[in-house]
Amino acid sequence: MSTFNFSKQTNFYKGKVRDVYTIADKYMVMQVSDRISAFDVVLPRPIPYKGQVLNQIAAQFLNATKDIVPNWMISSPLPNITIGHKCETYPVEMVVRGFLTGHAWRTYKSGKRELCGVALPEGMKENDRFPTPIITPTTKAHEGHDEDISREEIISRGLVPKEEYEQLEKYTLAIYQRGQEIAKERGLILVDTKYEFGKRDGVIHLIDEIHTPDSSRYFYLEGYEERQTKGEAQKQLSKEFVREWLMANGFQGKDGQQVPEMTDEVIKGISERYIELYENVTGKPFVKEDVSEADAVKRIEEELAKLGV
């Protein structure tokens, strides 16, 4: 999809996979594209319906958690578009982990027993459940990798005031618990995820996407305990399969490495996996929606007009 241009537009930001339009310095129009990134590289070909999958999962979970914390979303007038309030973002991402997996496991395996200032228990193995969920924040990087940081550093460096940071922690654990409860109903485990927060009129808001396969990791609940007992790999539901395909074909985002050829068959396979993710996570059948650019602009402008812009 090409770049839009709205009458009251005051800013435009093109991210790896999303285009964000600021309207009248008050509202945001977020277009979740079909672009896909891995290892901090945008891959050469888009994945059909990926934007719709991510946008609609996020909208469902924003609605399902708005009784816990206000969020930025006003409406989602199109399958891959969300319109919401512009918030002043906090410069940290709240990563919450219920299980020893991914980055936490790699840290643990290297012999370290602390991550982002949080002590990790002895005697754990990969994909074991933590006694209680842990928060391992990162700094937000516009370019390159986010970096691990402790709550003490966040507060001492003045990135977030102490009282507000403690409130972010409470919100993070409450939203994660809600996400785990919903996942369990779908036969899934919400393993780990990340949240971003901002402020509007002095009030903390949840922003960005939540509980999508690009920002979260899910395991299948059935057979989890048995696989752990046997030391087998867990069945995952996340974007990890894309990274695994790239690594199997010799690409990890390092200098001099070439992205393997993304054939029509590969693209179709990834698209089908995203649709499968959607249906598993939401419990709803996926309905493919194709909207012309002219119709998209018209519907977005109509929504903005309702907001008086």
- Structural domain spans, the chain: 9-87+267-306, 89-237
- DSSP letters of 172-190? HHHHHHHHHHHHHHTTEEE
Which whole-number Å values give the CA distances from 174 to 56, 89, 135, 171, 256, in the listed order?
A: 22, 20, 12, 5, 43
Give me the architecture of the 89-237 domain, per CATH: 2-Layer Sandwich (3.30)
- For the chain, the average pLDDT equals 94
Q: How confident is the model at residue 72 (pLDDT cuts 50, 70, 90)?
A: very high
pLDDT-derived band at 142 (thresholds 50, 70, 90) equals low
Tell whether the model's pLDDT for residue 218 goes beyond 60: yes
Work out the average pLDDT over 229-236: 93
In the structure encoding, which two tokens stand for residue 122, read together? 């002895």
Measured distance CA(75)–CA(66) in Å, rounded: 13
Q: What is the dihedral of CA 118, 122, 125, 126, to 10 degrees?
A: 10
118 beta partners: 115
User: How many whole angstroms separate alpha carbon 115 and alpha carbon 129?
Assistant: 16
Task: Classify strands 216-220 and 236-237 as parallel, antiparallel or unpaired.
Answer: antiparallel
Q: Is the pLDDT of residue 176 over 60?
A: yes
Query: Alpha-carbon distance 93 to 103, whole Å?
Result: 15
pLDDT at 1 > cutoff 60: no
Query: pLDDT value at position 2?
Result: 58
- pLDDT tens track for 272-300: 999 999 999 999 999 999 988 889 999 99
Q: H or E stretch including 267?
A: helix 264-282
Burial of 179: CB neighbours in 10 Å, binned 0-12, 13-18, 19+: buried
Class of domain 9-87+267-306: alpha beta
- Is the CB of residue 168 less than 8 Å from the CB of residue 207? no
Q: What amino acid occupies position 38? A: A
* Tens of pLDDT, residues 242-274: 988 999 999 998 999 999 999 999 999 999 999
DSSP 27: E
d(C-alpha 61, C-alpha 56), whole Å: 9
What residue ranges in 100-207 does DSSP mark as E strands?
114-115, 118-119, 129-135, 138-139, 188-200, 203-207
Q: pLDDT tens digits for 143-154?
A: 556 799 999 999
How far, in Å, CA of 283 to CA of 273, rounded?
A: 15
Mean pLDDT of 208-232: 95
Q: What is the pTM (predicted TM-score) of this model?
A: 0.92
The tokens describing 72, both together, are: 């930025």
